């Protein structure tokens, strides 16, 4: 256990604010607010402060990643569609060198061909996909385990 609580930033990209009602057959019925509450509670049990944010704007996500340096020990990021398109997100993660775990509710490789490649995966310490809302919690656990092992 570290001498101080860890600080984790949980970021969600575009359209994830619609979870619970957006294509529930694909994404499930759990809302993003429910995921945030679960992640915050899990964080408490792991001696970790979890701050949760969502944006539909690529530049805002980039800004939050940049601001994380020196303020957060790690990031859990669901880039959503930006994971397949955003060199800017990739570059921000690489630039700040804050350990980042990529998460997805579904398995992108099992979906549309254009979703098969993640631009951010190469600069992340790990990736969790396919477990629905639980992907966030598994990603947070993985991040904390990684931080503790360092």
Q: How confident is the model at residue 116 (pLDDT cuts 50, 70, 90)?
A: low
Q: Which residues pair with 51 in a beta bridge?
A: 9
H helix and E strand count, the chain: 5, 5
> Catalytic site residue 27?
yes
pTM above 0.85, yes or no: yes
pLDDT at 38 over 90: yes
Mean pLDDT over each residue of the chain, to the nearest integer: 93
Structural domains of the chain, with CATH:
6-149 (3.40.50.9100)
Confidence (pLDDT) at 114: 63
> Catalytic site residue 57?
no
Q: Which member of 6, 36, 82, 104 is catalytic?
A: 104
DSSP state of 23: -
Q: How confident is the model at residue 25 (pLDDT cuts 50, 70, 90)?
A: confident
Q: Which member of 6, 27, 82, 136 is catalytic?
A: 27
Separation in Å, CA 39 to CA 94, 104, 122, 135: 24, 15, 24, 10
């Amino acid at each position: 256990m570290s001498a101080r609580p860890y600080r984790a930033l949980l970021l969600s990209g575009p359209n994830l604010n619609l979870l619970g009602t957006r294509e529930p057959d694909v994404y499930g019925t759990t809302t993003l607010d429910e995921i945030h509450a679960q992640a915050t509670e899990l964080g408490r049990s792991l001696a970790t402060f979890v701050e949760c944010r969502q944006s539909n704007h690529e530049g805002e996500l980039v800004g939050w990643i940049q601001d994380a340096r020196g303020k957060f020990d790690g990031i859990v990021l669901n880039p959503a569609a930006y994971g397949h398109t955003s060199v800017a997100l990739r570059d921000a993660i690489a630039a700040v060198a804050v350990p980042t775990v990529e998460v997805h509710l579904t398995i992108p490789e099992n979906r549309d061909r254009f979703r098969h490649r993640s631009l951010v995966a190469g600069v992340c310490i790990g990736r969790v996909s396919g477990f629905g809302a639980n992907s966030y919690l598994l990603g947070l656990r993985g991040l904390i385990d990684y931080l503790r092992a360092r």
